[in-house]
Structure 1
């Protein structure tokens, strides 16, 4: 029998590529080959450097609007690989950013410096006897939901199946069932994190409690490399669903839509709607291919109960002028219902056949914490329908229910709000970019009088000088102190990372701030 080391063969192949490479003007700087070769020799994953055949593909994130040039990209397949990456980044004093799925709306999943890709840390373990799951940070929600469905369990996740656990959870994590169970970060019972010195720490409600508090809402690439998440899971997997719509077309449609939004905000968001109901609202142009599309207000939701009970719950909504019941879904598996709500009868958003995918995109998040009048909503509706590009959408992620837990439970501060409303514009070519960014800025100006100053940290914008206050409010000083404790070198940094500080004027009752880091392992 001939023994063949596939890893060694791949390593030698990469060394051969590096030996033959000729540095050219304009080629991004790579880490010194001495470090690259040593790193590739020690890990089971793959090192990608500027100039490699796959570099220009591997450096990209989901949104092609952003184009960063890391000095090294490393695909890690084990915690040992991550530790070796951190050794090199410390030696070279290179900032580290961690990428799980690459969906950062501001492009922060890739940057100049050292990029640790954890997409292959995607193991899933479901433990029905203790109603928990251990999940790797690179696990997509498409994969996670398949595992949960096989056992008949559920935990709140995102609408997009290609988004990964790592970044999503650390920024909060909203989805259709968040009103029913809470944000995704609220389901976390423990985490394992590798700190900048390469040591792994366990954090839960008893161990490293300040880190446990901060990771759940403090966003990724701040405190360390997330290696695993322990989730609480629920013994159900089927939900009833519905779709209601209003036409925004013409003056009557705009007025009916504005009146409906005012009624819903006052009676069916933060309060009024039962906690067993989760729903989102989307402003989108809809219509069959080849026909004139019509601006619509779409209300899509899930209900934890029977179809009959759900019909009773949504009847007051259907009583509003202009409301049309599009579809009712009998209870079905969560994943199938999630897909149906966002794709039937038309995809949201709808892109023409010649539109590149994934498209270039700019997303702008604004939390609403005050009641708007029908006239206020009308101003927003009229601005939206003036879009120069009918792929633009506005989406309302409705809060209340289980999201409105007592504050300070974790670093996700946005609890007492009506909704997050985000504006999403897309463009096919660079020639359209300025027009769509100007339209997005116009939306920001129009909604400004009603905005309370908070932004969902999972929807960052690249130009945001007040991000600390916008994302975390009064929690930001505490997060800065915890950042300094667990990442004293500030190795994990990017344009909107948490700035470390060794000063804390008020601990806000966050337990564990004065305790040393517990490095012992715990199962």
Structure 2
């Protein structure tokens, strides 16, 4: 049942102080002092309460670990004015709140027990061939931007997951297979409209509110305001070669080292996501139950890619497409594709090939940036911890993976914007998953393993973590996410949100 404007106006007209007003059978109760009737009285979208049709879906996060965080209400915004009304309401009532676009926040920071400000349905995307700019509303996701740009033969540094919201992707940096070619997604931002903590709306660009523009590019979502729209540069979308290769369970360290070298030697022509995966769900897997995979994109022909791949093939040949029995797909979800593939496609066909909605469900994640590479010693340590996996119902596919995060990302200085991670070639991530079949004791063993594994890897990584993959357990998240840019970012925060309206467990500390 939609909590519409007329119904709320009727409720607010009942002169019963602090009355409990039943909305309908099976719905929650709303008290006059909740103030939601005042919000809905002048709202272009809709306000959903627990029990209303659509509420459960609107409240559900990508990471099911936070599915028990139930909002008081979900404000389905359809206009910038709606966003401003929500900010005014939370200031007036003192309610806690969170902002959501795609809902993929790993640490559950787009969940709340208060008002969930949902901009998902503000999803218009338009492209201007004259300027080469794409205008993206707050709630649009990767898929919706792709559908707009595909007919025009242009691209942008997109994320890999179709359902990830563009807003969160941009504001925390933005990784995708085009990052090594065109930079992080935030590097292509030319302007953004922001609803500030006082509910006013400003534009941030290199020429207007330049300090805010500096800050939003890397601060991560929900820190400086609600970004209501974005203007991004686009790029030509040529034919590319995409690949998905899996090796037999041999020479794990040597292959991972060779794949790093391959990426480093071709920093802007190649983008890889390489890892070691389990072939079966088991505790303490043997080396014969682990295999190396790499997935990615090459900005050139298939023949040229095979040529540059030769040093990796000299270590070991991948399993042919016809001999993949027992080897898992590199992702849990996404389009069906053949293992062992090397395929030359148009850019957008290649993007479809690489798309995945992984991760989703029950998972936890930790990450650190690497400098030039993971050393041989670090790779051996990584494999040793994989072999200590305590077990669970799912074969682990993300026990130690390397995202290519160098190339064009390194072209800018570390202080060009708030996004600071410019001195790295890779992001190292550990991301165990589980299912409802796993007992609390089993999950506790997994998370304990993760903590110990992550701590053991610290000598081999940088003291930096990716703010778009937030980790609630980081001891010093400000330094990990923002490095030397933190003091300037705090100054921007004080200027635009002096009352710390946009506050959550890992918001920019004032």
1:273 maps to which of 263, 266, 278: 266
- In 1, the alpha carbon distance for the partners of 2:166 and 2:470 equals 17
- In 2, the alpha carbon distance for the partners of 1:237 and 1:301 equals 16
For residue 38 of structure 1, what is the aligned residue in structure 2?
Answer: 38
Q: Can you list the C-alpha shifts for 1:182-224, whole angstroms capped at 9, x where unaligned?
A: 1111111111101111211111111111111111110011111
For residue 399 of structure 1, what is the aligned residue in structure 2?
Answer: 405
For residue 368 of structure 1, what is the aligned residue in structure 2?
Answer: 370
For residue 64 of structure 2, what is the aligned residue in structure 1?
Answer: 64
- In 2, the alpha carbon distance for the partners of 1:11 and 1:296 equals 58
Shift of 1:302: 0.9
Shift of 1:438: 1.8
For residue 511 of structure 1, what is the aligned residue in structure 2?
Answer: none
Shift of 1:21: 4.8
**Structure 1: any 5+ residue segments left out of the alignment?**
1-5, 350-357, 501-523
- In 1, the alpha carbon distance for the partners of 2:171 and 2:406 equals 20
For residue 325 of structure 2, what is the aligned residue in structure 1?
Answer: none
- In 2, the alpha carbon distance for the partners of 1:418 and 1:410 equals 19
- In 2, the alpha carbon distance for the partners of 1:158 and 1:147 equals 15
Aligned CA RMSD, in angstroms, stands at 3.0
For residue 195 of structure 2, what is the aligned residue in structure 1?
Answer: 194
Q: Can you list the C-alpha shifts for 1:34-66, whole angstroms capped at 9, x where unaligned?
A: 621121120011113356565444333111101
Please list, as runs of the form range in 1=range in 2, the aligned pairs for 1:168-187 lying within 5 A after superposition.
168-187=169-188
Mapped pair 1:417 → 2:424: yes
Mapped pair 1:441 → 2:451: yes
Counterpart contact for 1:97–1:116, Cα < 8 Å: yes
Q: 1:74 to 1:342 in 2, by over 3 A?
A: closer
Q: 1:449 to 1:29 in 2, by over 3 A?
A: farther
- 3-state SS of 2:63 partner: coil
Q: 1:94 to 1:374 in 2, by over 3 A?
A: same
- In 2, the alpha carbon distance for the partners of 1:195 and 1:44 equals 19
- 3-state SS of 2:509 partner: coil
Q: 1:238 to 1:9 in 2, by over 3 A?
A: farther
2:386 maps to which of 374, 384, 387: 384
Counterpart contact for 2:253–2:379, Cα < 8 Å: yes
For residue 296 of structure 1, what is the aligned residue in structure 2?
Answer: 291
Shift of 1:283: 2.3
Please list, as runs of the form range in 1=range in 2, the aligned pairs for 1:90-169 lying within 5 A after superposition.
90-169=91-170
Q: Can you list the C-alpha shifts for 1:361-382, whole angstroms capped at 9, x where unaligned?
A: 1011111126443243122123
For residue 48 of structure 1, what is the aligned residue in structure 2?
Answer: 48
- In 2, the alpha carbon distance for the partners of 1:30 and 1:442 equals 46
**Structure 2: any 5+ residue segments left out of the alignment?**
15-19, 321-339
For residue 310 of structure 1, what is the aligned residue in structure 2?
Answer: 305
For residue 329 of structure 1, what is the aligned residue in structure 2?
Answer: 343
- In 2, the alpha carbon distance for the partners of 1:378 and 1:294 equals 16
Please list, as runs of the form range in 1=range in 2, the aligned pairs for 1:2-17 lying within 5 A after superposition.
none
Q: 1:122 to 1:164 in 2, by over 3 A?
A: same
- 3-state SS of 2:432 partner: strand
- In 2, the alpha carbon distance for the partners of 1:203 and 1:244 equals 43
For residue 223 of structure 1, what is the aligned residue in structure 2?
Answer: 224
Q: 1:449 to 1:274 in 2, by over 3 A?
A: closer
- In 1, the alpha carbon distance for the partners of 2:252 and 2:102 equals 36
Q: 1:34 to 1:468 in 2, by over 3 A?
A: closer
Please give the TM-score of this superposition, normalised by the length of structure 2: 0.84
Counterpart contact for 2:182–2:408, Cα < 8 Å: yes
- In 2, the alpha carbon distance for the partners of 1:11 and 1:307 equals 61
Please give the TM-score of this superposition, normalised by the length of structure 1: 0.82
| Structure with more relative contact order (C-alpha pairs < 8 Å, separation 6 or more) | 1
- 3-state SS of 1:498 partner: coil
Counterpart contact for 2:239–2:344, Cα < 8 Å: no
